[in-house]
Amino acid sequence: MSKYDVIVLGSGPGGYVTAIRASQLGLKTAVIEKESLGGVCLNWGCIPTKALLKSAQVFQYLNHAEDYGLKVDNPDKDFTKVVKRSRDIAEGMSKGVQFLMKKNKIDVIMGYGTLKKGKKVSVKDDKDKTTEYEADHIIIATGAHSRELPNLPQDGKKVIGYRKAMTLDKQPESMIVVGSGAIGSEFASFYNDMGTKVTLVEYLPNIVPLEDEEVSKQFEKIYKKKGIKVMTNSSVESVDTSGKKVKATVKTKKGEETIEADIVLSAVGIKTHIENIGLEEVGIKTDKDKITVNDFYQTNVPGYYAIGDVTPGPALAHVASAEGIICVEKIAGQKVEALDYSNIPGCTYSNPEIASVGMTEKQAKEAGYEIKVGKFPFSASGKASASGAKDGFVKVIFDAKYGEWLGCHMIGAGVTDMIAEAVLGRKLETTGHEVLKTVHPHPTMSEAVMEATAAAYDEVIHL
């Protein structure tokens, strides 16, 4: 039986990053993966969706070339090639992870891993051969998959999940997207920009419901302007797939409505991969579909750990990576800090993008803070105007007493690349005054952060 210091079950952005850091710390490490190195994020999530969204953005540029003084006659697209580009990029990234595994001398074990007592993992390969491996420390990083609702069963043809949405043979003329979180909003954006008639259905009062209310309202306004039919306070009660098209019965405040479309995309959240991996046999505790862990990702059973989507934190790639690094550094005996979950950035890569960190205005008020709020619209930004990207704004929230940066919320072009300023500023306990007095380059979109801060302190210049 092969013996390791660390075995990581799953090779997504949590698993492979954890394995690399473990190897850097001198620990003999192996990764077990049942499908493709890089996991869902790299192969079926974060990376390929961004490739699709980039193609849609370029197509939109071509369709609006005259806005920039350019002439492009009858722009068209090849949907098959758009999908192929996305898949090629994902494949290339997966090969990159393979290279990193070799570079860091990490053993890659392909197959389905099942936890066993005594710090062991049983792996069944594609030929049904089973091999057991042993380690001092076993880290569960098995991630999650698309959640299915009983009234919205996925048949992979007319009712699909996010995987199928990335690899359709042909572009649908119409689509109903159920759920307006990051996944639903991104696919609604992609298909709308490519020319599909999109209806976005959200059960809660606002789309992107976790965002600041002003961001949600602006997002809905922009989506409607783009031609997306937005239905809030609504739910898909049932679907009829017997005809040529799918008929969805949608319950609204005004009653039930039947909508026809070529395809229904279910984007109602994720389900963790914790079934049939041996948790019960080992005795590892779970709660509400999540593995229970302490601040350093130790489960209730010594020697077994869990990170990423299978734990209670936000189901985000960058969170999984950070958790994995903290986990193995603690195993290696390093002095480490627990992760600050109040300072995790969230990003939605739609058109326009959304990015946020910290408290919303409502949350800050509910927490009892006296606050200063500043907002700066991109319509007043020289760089945004020159770029033809004037939709959106930056909103900042500060504690009025001490100047603590409580939250930052952005909607607009490229804001997912801008949010790191707020994350770093909050990590370093930056005050509103310090942000205001930090010289930002002109002309840039990032100036809006300084300008929004100036607005909070009644010193705004360009508004």
User: Is 183 marked within a binding site?
Assistant: yes
Q: How many helices (H) and strands (E) does the chain have?
A: 15, 24
Flag whether 15 is marked binding: no
Quick check: 239 and 159 in contact, CB under 8 A? yes
Q: How far apart are CA 442 and CA 188, in angstroms?
A: 33
Whether residue 179 is annotated as binding a ligand: the answer is yes
Instruction: Please indicate if the annotation marks 280 as binding a ligand.
Output: no
Question: 388: annotated binding-site residue?
Answer: no
Instruction: Say which DSSP state 181 is in.
Output: S
Which residues, 6+ apart, have CB-to-CB distance to 181 below 8 Å?
208, 209, 210, 267, 269
Is 92 marked as binding a ligand? Answer: no
Q: Determine if residue 309 is labeled as part of a ligand binding site.
A: yes
Find the catalytic residue in 137, 409, 440, 442. 442
Q: What single-letter amino acid sits at 226?
A: K
Residue 45 marked ligand-binding: no
- Peptide bond before 13: cis, by omega within 30 degrees of 0? no
Residue 164 amino acid letter: K
Check: CB of residue 19 under 8 Å from CB of residue 7: no
The one-letter amino acid code at 49 reads: T
Q: Which of 404, 368, 320 is nearest to 41 (CA)?
A: 320
Task: Name the token pair of 366.
Answer: 């509910």
Contact 384, 390 (CB under 8 A): yes
Q: Is 385 annotated as a binding residue?
A: no
The amino acid at residue 87 is R
Determine if residue 451 is labeled as part of a ligand binding site.
no
Asked whether residue 94 is marked as a ligand-binding residue, the answer is no
> Is 442 in the active site?
yes
Which residue is it, tokens 């602006």? 218
Q: Which two tokens stand for residue 243?
A: 């005809």
Q: What is the distance of C-alpha 125 from the center of its chain?
A: 30
Nearest to 411 by CA among 189, 214, 215: 215
Is 234 annotated in some ligand binding site? no
> What would you measure as the largest C-alpha separation in the chain, in angstroms?
69
Contact by Cβ (8 Å): 321, 154:
no
Token reading at 291: 């593995």
| Sign of the dihedral defined by the CA atoms of residues 386, 392, 393, 394, in that order | negative
Q: 269 labelled as ligand-binding?
A: yes
Binding residues for FAD: 50, 113, 309
Binding residues: 50, 113, 179-186, 202, 269, 309
Active site members = 442
Binding residues for NAD(+): 179-186, 202, 269
